[in-house]
A and B are shown apart, each in its own frame.
Chain A
Amino acid sequence: MDKTALFEVIQSKTDLQEVLNQIDELIASLYQQKDPKSMPEAFVQLAQSRKVDLNNPEQAESFFLGLKKELTQIPQLGLTLAFAPSKEYITALSNWVHTNVGKNLILDITVDESILGGTTISFNGHYKDLSLNKALDEEYQNNRELFTGRLKAN
């Protein structure tokens, strides 16, 4: 499992936090004579691909600290959704991002029902509101005179 494969596992910021927590636990357990087989397969394969001996605590610690730094530096794509996404939908979103944006990105998903639908996007310090809430506000602003005119006519 290479770097890309690990990124495929880490699709969201939640996934990232879980992995980082796992790494912290692994680092903490390096010197506790724990069975290396208990490590997650993704880490084992990535270590092997990088020729890191996880049985060697120093190498393993250096590997995990380096990996942790790499992971925290992965660009994040912030998305606000009006509903709580399922794991499958997060995977679908991640696939779409990887396919269409073409970069290794982690989705930072926030749930906010007030946006009603659609999404807001935060990326590289930029923000774009493509929510249904904004769309309705714009529609109302554009058609406010129509409402007013009808009321005055009555």
Chain B
Amino acid sequence: MSDSIFTYAILADVFIIGMLVMVHEARAKISALETKISVDETNFQQLLKGQQDLIIKGVAGHLQRITTSVLSNYQETLAKAVEADLSVFRQSTAELEKAANDEVQAFKNTLQKETVDTQRDVAQKIQETYTKAQEEIKKYRDERIGEIDQHVGEVIITVCKRVTGKVLPLEDHQDLVISSLQKAKREEFF
């Protein structure tokens, strides 16, 4: 039994030693691993950084390419849109120009017609006014001539009277009285 125990003890010791060795080795491995891990971490960090840089560069490049592509596409699309818009604009402009020209022409035509109509109306109005004025002038002239006739006649007879009475010699006055008396006698006034 003792042997066994011893054995067992030795075995236990051996086991323990073995275990200790294993622990020690494990620790050494762990330490090594830790070192390695540390190194690896550093490397990893560096690698990661490098990878990050690569990724960033890649992404940036990719983004740049994408951006360039998008921009290019955008520019192209924009150019096409602009061109399309310009085409539409040109067409619209042409249509607007044509519409405007048509409107202007229509306006011109209307204006010309209106002008002609207005000129005709004005001419007609002027003619009517002129005719009416002529009639009024003629009426006024006739009235004035009538008055003048009357006045001229009165003036003439007045002048005749004034002149006649003064220029007749006394002998003619006397003879005229006798002639008047003779006429009265012929007409059996006495």
Interface residues of A (CB under 8 A from B): 79, 81-83, 85, 89, 92-93, 96-97, 100-101, 113, 116-119, 121, 123, 126, 128, 130-133, 136-137, 140, 144, 147-148, 151-152
Beyond known contacts A116-B165, A136-B164: 15 more, CB 8 A cutoff: A82-B173, A93-B177, A93-B181, A96-B178, A100-B182, A117-B164, A117-B165, A117-B172, A119-B176, A128-B187, A131-B180, A132-B161, A136-B160, A147-B153, A152-B142
Complex Cα distance A59/B63, Å? 180
Interface residues of B (CB under 8 A from A): 142, 145-146, 148-149, 152-153, 156-157, 160-161, 164-165, 168, 170, 172-174, 176-185, 187, 189-190
Nearest B-chain residue to A154, judged by Cβ:
B145
Nearest A-chain residue to B170, judged by Cβ:
A83
CB-CB < 8 A to B165: which residues of A? 82, 113, 116-117, 132
Option from B149, B156, B189 in Cβ contact (under 8 Å) with A121: B189
**Residue in B168, B173, B179 with the greatest tally of chain A CB atoms within 10 Å:** B173
CB-CB < 8 A to B153: which residues of A? 140, 144, 147-148
- In the complex, the number of residue pairs spanning A and B with C-beta atoms less than 8 Å apart equals 88
CB-CB < 8 A to B149: which residues of A? 144, 147-148, 151
With A101-B185, A136-B157 as known contacts, state yes or no: A130 contacts B180, CB within 8 Å.
Answer: yes
Is there contact, CB below 8 Å, between B157 and A96?
no
Q: Which 3 residue pairs spanning A and B have beta carbons closest together?
A: A130-B180, A116-B165, A148-B149
